[in-house]
Amino acid sequence: MIPLDTLELIQLVEALIFAADGPIKAERMAEALDTEQTEILAAIEALEVDYAERPRGFFLQEVSGGYQLRTRPEYADFLRKLGHNRPFKFSRPALESLAIIAYRQPVTRSEVEYLRGVDSGSVLKTLLEKRLIRILGKKDVPGKPMIYGTTREFLELFGLADLSALPTLREFSELMPDEENGVAGGDDEGVSLPLLIDEDVVEESSVTKP
Amino acid sequence: MDGYAIQLENFEGPLDLLLHLIKKNEMDVYDIPMAAITEQYLAILDTMKTLNLDLAGEFLLMAATLLHIKSKLLLPKIVEEELEEEEEDPRAELVRRLLEYQKYKEVSLTLDHSPQLGRDVFARVAPQPEVLEEAEAGFVAVGLYDLLEALREVIKENPEQLVHEVNMEQLSVTDRINAILSALQGKESVAFVDLFSDGIKRNEVIVTFLALLELVKLRLVRFMQNVHHGSIWLFPAVVIDENENLDVGDDSLGYS
């Protein structure tokens, strides 16, 4: 059996994650509980095992360098009925620009526009307003253009531990069959959806590595 | 012409449209038949015009690019090739852009399908009580209006003298910032009013105030007061935010 203090630590970690205002970092928890980070990570792992054995309505996700409890995606429809905040729906230009910035940051507006072949000024402004991207500084080239990168909010929105957790960018040397220009179409096939498949949810959330 | 019954407004831009045309016609992306693609592309632009769709400049630019590439291909290959070891296929850049665009288009769909906070997954929204930072127990952060009020006091105590004099003055916010920083050096705090010594001129007050605002913006100092509407104190605060490695040079201040 688990000795009491370990059990207590697990519960304390759960309490901290539960009460936190956003993703909470392991080091902050270690500070609050006056213990080693490794202990915290062990407790998190134990929690994940526990959640996997006895699934809850939520799962533990490593987000933006911290940990957060989130409701399971398959319950989204019901939660939306609760009138939870109106989901922000991405337009295709916004998504494309965001993807380019996420993968190529730091990047200038003209680089985004070259890749998309379309003026992207207003899209970038919207993304800035939504705080999904931020200005990182100015590039040291003539005209000193602003350079952009993604924010903590971006990682939180997509549930990414960090930028390396972005879906792998597939290198194409050929054209892919057309996906019929539908973003909001809801056809899920053809794209890898790590978290949308029911059984995978718990597993996915438990593979977070320290 | 058939097959143009496509939803035109669905194309994000010329690259998107070209990708679609190439795929639809099962063309080889590495050997795009320029004549055919240009013709189709222009035909679609025509359709867009007749439909009175707002034709973005980018579509026209791409049309020009296509025609340019097409004409380049028509030119006889000159012996110049000896000079430029291997002249690149005029289509090469376009192909690179198409494949690159396709890459980001695809991954943006993947992102869209992945669970999003607020759409597919939800987190608790915990209202946080306002907690004072322990280090400054007893002190509270100074709001903008308190700061302006303090400025008003300083200006009131240093009324502008109605003397007409003309002379050149060099006031620099940067200099003032350095002066304030050296005044803070080695001290725990400095009173706000002490920065505005007696007999200070109006424009000096303003430069000093601007310098203070810059310092706060740069997170080099913090304003605190022990009670609301109490006297304001300046604390050095060289705490570099881990997320924000702003590289601040002189020119980024906007003054010099």
pLDDT at B243: 42
Q: Does the fold of domain A92-165 match that of domain A4-82+199-206?
A: yes
Across chain B, mean pLDDT equals 76
pLDDT at B134: 45
Mean predicted confidence (pLDDT) in B3-30: 78
Domain identity same for B44 and B101:
yes
Task: Give CA separation, B34 vs A210, B21, B26, B31, B60, in Å.
Answer: 52, 12, 14, 9, 16
Across chain A, mean pLDDT equals 80
- The CATH code for residues A4-82+199-206 is 1.10.10.10
Q: Which of A73-82, A154-163, B96-105 has the lowest mean pLDDT?
A: A73-82
- Whether the per-residue pLDDT at B122 is higher than 60: the answer is yes
Domain identity same for B198 and B161:
yes
Q: Is B123 among the domain residues?
A: no
- Nearest-Cα residue of chain B relative to residue A64: B243
The whole-angstrom distance between A3's CA and the closest CA on chain B is: 30
Residue A118 has its nearest CB partner, among B10, B13, B104, at: B13
Q: Is B121 among the domain residues?
A: no
pLDDT at B231: 78
> Do A115 and B121 lie within an 8 Å CB cutoff?
no
User: Does domain A92-165 fall into CATH 1.10.3720.10?
Assistant: no
B94: containing domain: 8-76+87-113
User: Domain segments of chain A: what residues?
Assistant: 4-82+199-206, 92-165
Contact criterion met (CB below 8 Å) for A51 and A206: yes
Alpha-carbon distance of B49 to B55, in angstroms, equals 7
Which chain B residues have a beta carbon less than 8 Å from that of A102? 111
Q: Where would I find the H helices in B114-218?
A: 144-157, 173-184, 202-217
- Whether the per-residue pLDDT at A205 is higher than 50: the answer is no
Mean predicted confidence (pLDDT) in B238-244: 46
> Do A178 and B23 lie within an 8 Å CB cutoff?
yes
pLDDT digits (tens, 9 = 90+) for B81-92: 555 556 678 888
pLDDT at A210: 38
Mean predicted confidence (pLDDT) in B32-49: 88
Confidence of residue B248 (pLDDT cuts 50, 70, 90): very low
Domain identity same for B221 and B140:
yes
Element (H, E) at B79: none
> Do B109 and A95 lie within an 8 Å CB cutoff?
yes
Residue A70 has its nearest CB partner, among B105, B122, B126, at: B122
- Which candidate, B75, B69, B76, places its Cα nearest to that of B32? B69
Check if B114 contacts A (Cβ < 8 Å). yes
Q: Return contacts of A131-136, CB within 8 angstroms, 24+ apart.
A: A132/A98, A132/A157, A133/A98, A133/A101, A136/A105, A136/A106
Helix axes A92-104, A121-129, angle to 10 degrees: 80
The DSSP call for residue B239 is -
Check if B123 contacts A (Cβ < 8 Å). yes
Domain identity same for B142 and B243:
yes
In terms of C-beta density within 10 A (0-12 exposed, 13-18 middle, 19 or more buried), how is residue B196 classed? Answer: buried
- Whether the per-residue pLDDT at B254 is higher than 80: the answer is no
Any residues with CB less than 8 A from the CB of A157 and at least 6 apart, and which? Answer: A132, B116, B117, B118
Mean predicted confidence (pLDDT) in B96-104: 92
The 10 Å Cβ neighbour count of residue A97 is 30
Domain identity same for B244 and B138:
yes
Domain identity same for B100 and B191:
no
pLDDT digits (tens, 9 = 90+) for A37-48: 999 999 999 999
ipTM metric: 0.74
Domain identity same for B148 and B231:
yes
Which chain B residues have a beta carbon less than 8 Å from that of A171? 103
pLDDT at B25: 87
Residue A156 has its nearest CB partner, among B99, B117, B126, at: B117
Q: Where would I find the H helices in chain A?
A: 4-19, 26-33, 37-53, 76-81, 92-104, 109-116, 121-129, 152-158, 200-206
- Nearest-Cα residue of chain B relative to residue A80: B119
In chain B, % helix, strand, coil (3-state, to 5) comes to: 50, 5, 45
- Whether the per-residue pLDDT at B12 is higher than 50: the answer is yes
Per the structure, the count of domains in chain B is: 2
Domain identity same for B108 and B140:
no
Q: What percent of chain B clears pLDDT 70, i.e. is strictly above it?
A: 70
Confidence of residue B132 (pLDDT cuts 50, 70, 90): very low
Q: Cis link prior to A145 (omega < 30° from 0)? A: no
> Do B113 and A188 lie within an 8 Å CB cutoff?
yes
Helix (H, G, I), strand (E, B) or coil at B223: strand
Q: Is B241 among the domain residues?
A: yes
Q: Is B124 among the domain residues?
A: no
- Whether the per-residue pLDDT at B23 is higher than 70: the answer is yes
Q: Is B81 among the domain residues?
A: no
- Whether the per-residue pLDDT at B108 is higher than 60: the answer is yes
Domain identity same for B158 and B243:
yes
pLDDT at A42: 94
Alpha-carbon distance of B73 to B68, in angstroms, equals 9
Domain identity same for B227 and B195:
yes
Residue that wins the pLDDT comparison between A157 and B243? A157
The 10 Å Cβ neighbour count of residue A104 is 16
Check if B254 contacts A (Cβ < 8 Å). no
- Which candidate, B217, B205, B211, B226, places its Cα nearest to that of B244? B217
Check if B22 contacts A (Cβ < 8 Å). yes
Q: Is B195 among the domain residues?
A: yes
Residue A76 has its nearest CB partner, among B11, B62, B119, at: B119
> Do A95 and B124 lie within an 8 Å CB cutoff?
no
Residue B104 has its nearest CB partner, among A100, A138, A175, at: A100
